[in-house]
Structure 1
Amino acid sequence: MPIITLTTDFGEKDHFVGGVKGAIYSELEDVRIVDISHSISPFHLTEAAYIIQNAYKSFPQGSIHIIGIDSGLTPENKHVAVYLDGHYFICANNGIISMLASEIKPEKIVEINIHDRIESNFPVLDVFVKVACHIARGGTLEVIGKGIDTIKELTGIRPVVNPEASQIIGNVIYIDNYGNVVSNITRSLFDKIGKGRSYKIMARTATFTEVFNNYSDAINFDLPPEKREEDGKKLALWNSGEYLELAIYKSNPSTVGSASSLFGLEYRDTISVNFE
């Protein structure tokens, strides 16, 4: 049974998500539909790319991923279907695929050209669903589009290394539900540039000299509970996507605050690593 996932900025209030699911079931009754997220900030390509990048790898090979972010068809925002890392992605060619393809080259890209056969003012429901169901039936990409070699690049999402290789300057690319701050600095880049040197991570007034692999690694469980530094402890860690993340242990943005609020960090703000 084929799997089709949905990632959109539609939210849960309106009829859009239900309409897309209904259109899929009208085409294919024997299919599984999985919601990755419908709470992407409106038109926030970087946020969507980060979420999809960390979610799609958990799905079986051959899964089909519909991405409904900034999907209006214009001469500068064409629609594409991409075969990448054993998965199919259907979205606008607005740069979102460039983050997914930063380390893995797409095996096939087609610019979708079936629009003249479909009357549509809601491309995700009409065009993207038709393409997804075509692929789910075993159809090839060549039938629904013409092959292209390049995709639009999402600019400003890659960290910068200074000429002396003593500093990485990154940015906040995502703030999660707990208010944890995710940077675009990957563990592979950190290890490549750092080469085992000591370092200091700086984000506004917050500094860190150690990066943990798990949240709980920051807590000394050899101490009795009353002597541990737990709730409210600041920490840096490599998250499940191998990105550098700044967090507050067991934070609650609505009560005690979070890394974003307590460190004063928002999307695009600078996070730097200085090696000694």
Structure 2
Amino acid sequence: MAIITLTTDFGEKDYFAGAIKGAIYSELPNIEIVDISHTVSPFNILEAAYIIQNAYSSFPKGTIHVIGIDSELNQENKHIAMKLDDHYFICANNGIMSMICSEIAPEKIVEINIHDKIQTSFPVLDVFVKVACHIARGGTLEVIGKTINEIKPIKNILPYVNDEKNQIMGKIIYVDNYGNVVTNIKKSFFETIQKGRAFEIYARNYKFNTIYKKYSDIVNFEIPEGKRNDEGKGLVVFNSGNFLEIAVYKSNSATVGSASSLMGLGLMDTVSVKFINE
């Protein structure tokens, strides 16, 4: 039996996530349901895209991913089901899948057309669950929708190169639970442009010229533990998803602060990388 994952902005207070699980179990009692996140910021498509891109590949092939972000059906916000990288995704056609699709081409996309039989103000429960259970039973995408070839993009999802200034221009696309800020600059793109050159990374009034392999590389372990002053230091790493991330070592909003709070960095702020020609 397949796995169904849930990624939503429904939070933990309301009944929405529980109702979805109950509806799935009512149709498929032996299914396995995994919560990826229910605390995506409300209607934050870019945040959801980052989360699902970095989570889905850890699941077995054939997993079905239900994404409930900005899913109300209207003439500008249709519903889609997609097969990509041997996984299935069910969501609104609002740009959520464009981050993954920028790197991996979908095998098939359909625009879901079962709505005529279902009148609902809660499409994740009444439509997405039906589609997920259909796929889990071995059903094909063609049965629940018409094939389409393109999906709606998210603007500014990819960094670009400013040749005149010899730099990469990127944006902050995610702020994690520690207040670390994640850019849309991936390691592979960075290294392709870098070509071994030295660099300077700029975010507001802050400048960095080192990318660490891991957070604790900023610590000088030759100094006795009680005499170090490492907590609260800013640093740059490529995180586990291989995105360029600006962090604060052992950040804590209640004590030392975070990259977001201390540096004043937020979603869609610009981060640039200037390369130095020798």
TM category, shorter: over 0.9
Counterpart for residue 139 of structure 1? 139
Counterpart for residue 172 of structure 2? 172
Q: CA deviation at 1:124?
A: 0.1
Q: CA deviation at 1:229?
A: 3.9
Counterpart for residue 265 of structure 1? 265
Gaps of 5+ in 2: none
Query: Is contact 2:170–2:270 with CA below 8 Å preserved after alignment?
Result: yes
SS in 2 for 1:171: strand
The normalised TM-score by structure 2 is: 0.97
Counterpart for residue 87 of structure 2? 87
Counterpart for residue 243 of structure 1? 243
Q: CA deviation at 1:15?
A: 0.7
SS in 1 for 2:252: coil
Paired residues for 1:151-190 under 5 Å: 151-164=151-164, 166-190=166-190
Q: CA deviation at 1:164?
A: 4.0
The superposition leaves residues 233-269 of structure 1 with CA deviations (integer Å, 9 ceiling, x where unpaired) of 2110000010000001001012221000111101111
Mapped partners of 2:28, 2:150: distance in 1: 31
Q: Where in structure 1 do 4 or more consecutive aligned residues deviate above 6 Å?
A: none
Mapped partners of 2:254, 2:64: distance in 1: 36
- Give the letter aligned to residue 186 of structure 1: K
Query: Is contact 2:184–2:244 with CA below 8 Å preserved after alignment?
Result: yes
Q: CA deviation at 1:216?
A: 1.4
Query: Is contact 2:185–2:244 with CA below 8 Å preserved after alignment?
Result: yes
Aligned residues: 276
Q: CA deviation at 1:227?
A: 4.1
Q: CA deviation at 1:9?
A: 0.5
How much is the aligned-residue C-alpha RMSD, in angstroms?
1.1
Counterpart for residue 71 of structure 1? 71
The superposition leaves residues 42-64 of structure 1 with CA deviations (integer Å, 9 ceiling, x where unpaired) of 10000000011111111001000
Counterpart for residue 226 of structure 2? 226
Question: Which 10-residue stretch deviates more, 224-233 or 198-207?
Answer: 224-233
Counterpart for residue 122 of structure 1? 122
Identity value in percent = 66
SS in 1 for 2:261: helix
Mapped partners of 2:57, 2:220: distance in 1: 33
Counterpart for residue 210 of structure 1? 210
Mapped partners of 1:191, 1:165: distance in 2: 17
Mapped partners of 1:78, 1:163: distance in 2: 38
Q: CA deviation at 1:218?
A: 1.9
Q: CA deviation at 1:29?
A: 0.4
Counterpart for residue 41 of structure 1? 41
Gaps of 5+ in 1: none
- Give the letter aligned to residue 84 of structure 2: L
